[in-house]
Amino acid sequence: MSSKKAIDHYRLPTDLRPRHYDLTIRTDLQKENFSGFVKIECANKCYLSRFFESRVTSLDVLKATNVVTFNAATELNLGHSTLVVASSAEELAPVETKFDASTQRASLIFGEELPAGSKAILRINFEAVLTDSLTGYYKSTWERGIYALTQFAVRELPTHTYTG
């Protein structure tokens, strides 16, 4: 595999563009598991008042597609997922969910194509067991019990120049 193909193999498809992630995690340290949901936000704060009272989140659809692909650890169990295209306000459920363990990706396949230029609201529920793998959202122990942590990284750090 050429280096360009190798790099492209690990990049997500560019049919959709997420604008912001809202992530809610509920952790149960006694049962050593967690659950939650993720929503994806567009830049211009879309509203679909028929379905939601408050601001909702979405994807920009750059190319027509019926597949939404995203990174997902193999230990993550995906639950109920919904997608609403802003132009129709119809709630869609995936007709199939596929996992690729080698790239740690999941794909939601929908029965209808998402039109290019539209915005679509995506919500994905998930759950998993807290492991001590030191990847993703994981657990650690100490003399007082168990705690959960992650190593989220800042995308861009501000640069400061000292001129002393």
Instruction: List, in order of start, the domains of the chain with CATH numbers.
Output: 10-129 (2.60.40.1730)
Alpha carbons 60 and 13: distance in angstroms, whole number: 13
Q: Are strands 33-41 and 20-28 parallel, antiparallel or unpaired?
A: antiparallel
Torsions phi, psi of 6, nearest 5? -65, -45
Question: Are 126 and 38 a contacting pair, CB within 8 Å?
Answer: yes
Query: What tens digit of pLDDT does each residue of 32-63 get?
Result: 999 988 877 543 444 433 333 333 346 888 99
pTM: 0.76
- Residue 17 near residue 41 (C-beta atoms within 8 A): no
Assess contact for 70 and 24: CB atoms under 8 A.
no
How many Å apart are CA 90 and CA 51, to the nearest integer? 9
Q: Quick one: 49 exposed, middle or buried, by C-beta within 10 A (0-12, 13-18, 19+)?
A: exposed
pLDDT tens across 104-136, in order? Answer: 899 999 999 988 998 888 889 999 999 998 878
